[in-house]
């Protein structure tokens, strides 16, 4: 059975250097309740990171629950974006920052992640149109 709905360690954006480059040279957009930073790369691969503010959510259990919900929604919906990146021979680093002040339910997070992935696909198309 193929492992298409996974989020393995090599798909996670953990490198401090890569995250700093993403925030310095990448682009961003906002889709409530997220701010999304992304950066297209020449090498193949899709890496994902997520952050929830400690200032807004003081309890670690709240932050961890939100991050778990976001990762789950992303994991289930990333496949079309991943296939498109492979077809275009492009890489992408993407980082989600949760900006809402309350804990949204899973349905809201799932639908918002779907909108974000569609928008990232459009950005990929624009990136290749500008590069050609």
| Number of structural domains found in the chain | 1
Question: Which of the residue ranges 12-16, 100-104, 122-126 has the most confident prediction, judged by mean pLDDT?
Answer: 100-104
Strand pairing report for 91-98 and 45-52 = parallel
pLDDT tens digits along 82-113: 999 998 899 999 999 999 999 999 999 999 99
- Residue 59, H or E segment: none
pTM for this predicted structure: 0.90
pLDDT tens digits along 36-88: 999 999 888 899 999 999 999 999 999 999 999 999 999 999 999 999 999 88
Q: Does 3 reside within a domain?
A: no
Q: Does 35 reside within a domain?
A: yes
Q: Does 103 reside within a domain?
A: yes
CATH number at residue 22: 3.30.230.10
Q: Does 68 reside within a domain?
A: yes
Full residue range of the structural domain in which residue 96 is found: 9-131
Q: Does 2 reside within a domain?
A: no
Cα 1 to Cα 4, 5, 8, 45: the distances in Å are: 9, 11, 16, 22
Q: Does 75 reside within a domain?
A: yes
């Amino acid at each position: 059975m193929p492992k298409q709905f996974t989020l393995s360690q090599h798909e996670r954006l953990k490198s401090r250097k890569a995250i700093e480059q993403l925030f310095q040279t990448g682009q961003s957009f906002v889709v409530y309740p997220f701010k999304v930073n992304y950066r297209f790369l020449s090498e193949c691969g899709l890496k994902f990171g997520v952050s929830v503010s400690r200032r807004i959510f003081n309890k670690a259990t709240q932050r961890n629950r939100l991050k778990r919900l976001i990762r789950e929604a992303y994991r289930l919906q990333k496949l079309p974006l991943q296939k498109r990146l492979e077809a275009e021979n492009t890489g992408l680093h993407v980082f989600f920052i949760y900006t809402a002040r309350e804990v949204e339910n899973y349905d809201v997070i799932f639908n918002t992640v779907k909108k974000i992935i569609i928008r990232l696909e459009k950005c990929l198309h624009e990136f290749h149109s500008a590069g050609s």
